């Protein structure tokens, strides 16, 4: 780490009220099959960002009935005691990796202006990494650079694909590499970058989407920056559903996570699934054919059709693990990830996370 970065990091830590001396982290890599659980530290991946002089009352009045709130959190919703319960339980159920969706949940030394009240200091994060390592958990950071999930970048999300934008992304990746002590992977997100995802339920008033060479340029820039900082890029692979050229243009060094939650309730059989979900299911096979290493992702979160039918999604992860172990080549199948998609912010969501760990553990044993 160069002198300038040391100075910036020290200054930011001091400003955050953290004076604990830094100690090197031992590089930790979970052995064998990846058994990853996605947890959210931040939550501003599902919001818009508004300039300070915008009248938020006017914005609020324009939100459609039952529409999703576009407003970012100004205080971290994660509760430490619930986070501790969830992570302890995840470790006890045999998971060996936690992917932390950081967002605004971390004070980034190079850009402390992205933090909110309650954001974790770098030293608090490093201490938690040490604790989790002792439980047998490898901790992997996640920064989502999709335009659909970058409300955590605040005003920088409106500078997309400019020198200022590339610089802040490079700074943040370097910060995370330093704080996490060059972990094996950095999950870079890049899912759901479409106008419809951003405008869903009137959530975003600022909608911007990169396409084609523009999208690929920025994706590859983030991949190269990640590798330059000693980490392997890990990404969602849904761009390939509608852009088959992605499988040829994306470096094989990127670890892929296709996600299939059977939202349309069409099943796990390519021959019988006639729903819009078919391309998602087919994604596992497309990645395997293209030679990508992958960590398929399941959930216990219910999609629209399952909510309508009130069937729940407890069956998803078990069927997904069975399918991929049967059909995906062992050399490319590196493990699995469970994503309940709820924060550790209340008892109800804690139960969802714990249930997700139960379902995942059962699926891995089957």
Cα-based distances in Å from 6 to 167, 179, 214: 18, 12, 34
Residue 339 in contact with residue 296, Cβ under 8 Å? no
Q: At which residue do the structure tokens 């994503």 appear?
A: 339
Confidence (pLDDT) at 18? 44
Mean pLDDT across the stretch 195-203? Answer: 76
Confidence (pLDDT) at 10? 43
Pairing label, strands 97-101, 34-40: parallel
Task: Please name each of the domains of the chain with its CATH number.
Answer: 3-365 (3.20.20.80)
Distance, in Å, from the CA atom of 27 to the CA atom of 325, rounded to the nearest integer, reads: 29
pLDDT band at 14 (very low <50, low <70, confident <90, very high): very low
Confidence (pLDDT) at 198? 86
Confidence (pLDDT) at 273? 98
Confidence (pLDDT) at 240? 96
Q: Does the pLDDT of residue 3 top 50, yes or no?
A: no
Mean pLDDT across the stretch 290-304? Answer: 97
Confidence (pLDDT) at 13? 42
Strand ordering across the sheet containing 297-298 = 255-257, 232-236, 185-189, 138-142, 97-101, 34-40, 335-338, 297-298
Q: Which two tokens stand for residue 119?
A: 């954001």
Confidence (pLDDT) at 2? 44
31-48 tens-digit pLDDT: 899 999 999 999 999 999
CA-closest candidate to residue 24, choices 258, 232, 245, 182: 182
Axis-axis angle for helices 316-327, 347-365 (nearest 10): 30
Q: Does the pLDDT of residue 26 top 90, yes or no?
A: no
Mean pLDDT across the stretch 87-92? Answer: 98
Strand, helix or coil for residue 46: coil
Residue 264 in contact with residue 305, Cβ under 8 Å? yes
């Amino acid at each position: 780490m160069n002198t300038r970065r040391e100075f910036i990091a020290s200054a930011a830590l001091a400003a955050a009220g953290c004076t604990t001396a830094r100690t090197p982290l031992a590089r930790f890599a979970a052995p064998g099959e990846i058994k990853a659980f996605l947890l959210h530290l931040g939550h501003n991946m599902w919001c818009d960002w508004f300039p300070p002089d915008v009248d938020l009352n006017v914005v609020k009045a324009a939100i459609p009935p039952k529409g999703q709130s576009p407003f970012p959190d100004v205080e971290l919703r994660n509760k430490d005691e619930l986070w501790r319960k969830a992570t302890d339980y995840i470790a006890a159920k045999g998971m060996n990796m936690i992917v932390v969706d950081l967002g605004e949940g971390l004070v980034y030394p190079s850009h402390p202006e992205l933090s909110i009240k309650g954001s974790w200091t770098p030293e608090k994060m490093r201490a938690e990494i040490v604790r989790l390592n002792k439980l047998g958990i490898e901790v992997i950071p996640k920064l989502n650079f999709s335009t659909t999930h970058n409300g955590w970048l605040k005003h920088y999300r409106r500078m997309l694909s400019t020198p200022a934008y590339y610089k802040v992304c490079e700074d943040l990746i370097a910060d995370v590499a330093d704080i996490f002590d060059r972990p094996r992977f950095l999950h870079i997100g890049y899912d759901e970058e479409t106008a419809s995802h951003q405008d869903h339920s009137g959530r975003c008033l600022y909608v911007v989407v990169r396409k084609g060479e523009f999208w690929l340029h920025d994706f590859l820039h983030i991949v190269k920056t990640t590798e330059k900082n000693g980490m392997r890029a890990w990404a969602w692979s849904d761009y390939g559903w509608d852009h088959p050229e992605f499988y040829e243009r994306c470096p094989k060094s990127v670890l892929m996570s296709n996600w299939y939650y059977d939202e349309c309730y069409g099943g796990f059989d390519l021959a019988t699934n006639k729903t819009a979900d078919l391309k998602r299911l087919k994604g596992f096979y497309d990645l395997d054919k293209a030679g990508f290493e992958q960590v398929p992702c399941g959930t216990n979160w219910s999609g629209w059709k399952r909510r309508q039918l009130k069937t729940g999604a407890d069956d998803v992860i078990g069927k997904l693990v069975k399918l991929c172990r049967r059909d995906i080549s062992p050399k490319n199948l590196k493990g699995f990830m469970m994503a309940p998609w709820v924060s550790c912010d209340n008892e109800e969501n804690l139960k969802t996370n714990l249930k997700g760990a139960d379902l995942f553990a059962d699926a891995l044993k089957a």
